[in-house]
Amino acid sequence: MTQKNVVVIGAGVAGLTTAFLLSKRPGYKIVVAAKHMPGDYDIEYASPWAGANYMPVGVRGTQAAEWEKATWGPLENLARNHPDAGVHFQDCEIRTRSKDLGSATANWFSELLSPNPWFKDVVPNFRVIPREELGPGVDSATSFTSVCINTAIYLPWLVSQCLKNGVIFKRKVFQHILETTKPNVHPSGYVDLVINCTGLMASQLGGVEDKSVVPARGQIVVVRNDTGGKMFDVSGTDDADDEACYIMMRAAGGGTILGGSYQMRNWESQPDPNLAVRIMKRAIEMCPELTGGRKGIENLDIVRHAVGLRPVREGGTRVEKERIGNVWVVHNYGAGGAGYQSSYGCAQTAVNLAEEVFQKRAQL
Ligand SMILES: Cc1cc2nc3c(=O)[nH]c(=O)nc-3n(C[C@H](O)[C@H](O)[C@H](O)COP(=O)(O)OP(=O)(O)OC[C@H]3O[C@@H](n4cnc5c(N)ncnc54)[C@H](O)[C@@H]3O)c2cc1C
């Protein structure tokens, strides 16, 4: 069999999951080449900053929902059978306040907030919480069992799975996508296929320059406080249309993430201290267990403040193939706030497209 030489640009959750799934197929020699690798923290690298949990937002009947549906099984399997991946089960509660209807956060969460979402038969233990059990100010709520991923463990775990399958990792910065075909990138000196997983920076990579990819700025506070094993999400806040309130505890001592914000087209990398105070106040109000019922943000034990940029693409995640110059490219970028919860679905589609490219070549 002729060796299939592939370069994956990007070592975020999209690039690593795609490389992992592709490396299970026979005949591939894969290089993952990226500016940032797991262990780095940088504003151009979204994956380390994510919570990350599985709270589907893809609207029923869309490709986004299909990708999320396809991702639940693999994540559940990791939580159940692979403790070394840093993924654990958590029960979650999703609260809706009627007054948030139409806000940026409520629009983003529209499927998640539905009492009858497509994923009710996918995740375990979905139920609509009876009215008499709702807290003050909450008009409706649902609960189900989900997962939370410790990204500091999970991203290196993906690297280790790729390494086991013979994938090569390299630090590279590309100004143009065709620079991946230079002889010093792939050990064979030749590249058949490039897989573009550059996230937000697909907006700047020469040959792609997809200006429909923009940041949705997410500010978080990581604390040592415990939620008592639950995750929370609410439809909006009283503070600003593009602020959010969610809480999740990462697996294996990864800390508790207090979020957040969803600030479109905002590239600011530094935490806003006023927003941080609002995030912490809202979190304690939503989950008093965090501080053992004590009021006041001084009862939170802060690990760090952080900001990440979700790579949002108008029209949704781009997973498609394209001929650029003399080389086939499969794109997998622009997952916005759903990069983990759609990772296996998107990566599988990208792998199928890669296989199509090589099948066509075999027929020539
Ligand atoms: C605060 C926050 C909370 C989130 N919570 C969740 C959540 O709970 N659940 C969920 O599913 N998702 C969540 N997300 C979204 C998720 O983090 C992203 O969708 C996902 O990380 C995007 O991954 P990616 O691999 O596409 O991009 P990235 O992680 O940004 O990786 C891009 C890669 O491409 C490389 N690269 C880019 N350009 C070049 C170049 N020119 N040359 C070489 N290398 C290049 C970078 O170095 C990097 O390795 C959250 C995001 C944020 C910010």
SS3 track for 175-236: CEHHHHHCCCCCCCCCCCEEEECCHHHHHCCECCCCCCEEEEEEEEEEECCCCCCEEEEECC
At 139-156, the pLDDT tens digits run 999 999 999 999 999 999
Confidence of residue 79 (pLDDT cuts 50, 70, 90): very high
User: Residue 340 CA: which ligand 1 atom is closest?
Assistant: 11
% of the chain beyond a pLDDT of 70: 99
The average pLDDT across 27-56 equals 98
What does the pLDDT average to over 309-337? 97
- Decide: 205 in ligand 1 pocket, CB within 6 A: yes
Q: Please report the atom of ligand 1 found closest to the CA of residue 248.
A: 8
The strand ranges marked E within the chain are 4-9, 28-34, 87-96, 127-128, 140-149, 168-171, 193-196, 213-223, 230-234, 243-249, 256-261, 263-264, 302-313, 318-324, 327-333
Torsion of CA 22, 25, 31, 35, to 10 degrees: 10
Ligand 1 proximity of 173 Cβ (cutoff 6 Å): yes
Ligand 1 site, residue 15, Cβ cutoff 6 A:
yes
Q: What percent of the chain has pLDDT over 90?
A: 95
Instruction: Give the bridge partners for 87, in sequence order.
Output: 149
Q: 4-48+152-212+314-363 in CATH: which number?
A: 3.40.50.720
Q: Is 32 in the pocket of ligand 1 (CB under 6 A)?
A: no
Q: Provide the residue ranges of all domains of the chain, joining segments of one domain with +.
A: 4-48+152-212+314-363, 87-149+213-313
Quick one: pLDDT at residue 33? 98
Q: How confident is the model over 276-288, as a mean pLDDT?
A: 97
pLDDT band for position 364 (50/70/90)? low
Enumerate the known binding-site residues for FAD.
198
Fold match flag (4-48+152-212+314-363 vs 87-149+213-313)? no
Ligand 1 centroid to 282 CA: how many Å? 26
52 lines ligand 1 (CB under 6 A): yes
- What distance in angstroms lies between residue 334's CA and the mean position of ligand 1's atoms? 9
Mutate which of 8, 13, 71 for ligand 1? The one with the most ligand atoms within 8 Å of its CB, which is: 13
The reported pLDDT for the residue numbered 228 is: 85
Mean pLDDT of 343-354: 98
CATH of domain 87-149+213-313: 3.30.9.10
Name the residue with the closest Cα to ligand 1, atom 7.
52
Residue 249 to residue 52: CA distance in whole angstroms: 9
Q: With b meaning 16 or more CB within 10 Å and e meaning fewer, what string describes 311-321?
A: bbbeebbbbeb
Instruction: Write the pLDDT tens digit of every residue in 192-248.
Output: 999 999 999 999 999 999 999 999 999 999 999 999 889 999 999 999 999 999 999
Task: Determine the average pLDDT of the residues in 293-313.
Answer: 97
pLDDT surpassing 70 at residue 60 = yes
Mutate to test the pocket of ligand 1, among 16, 17, 31, 35 (most ligand atoms within 8 A of CB): 35
The minimum-distance atom of ligand 1 relative to the CA of 343 is 11
pLDDT in tens, 96-133: 999 999 888 898 899 999 999 999 999 999 999 999 99
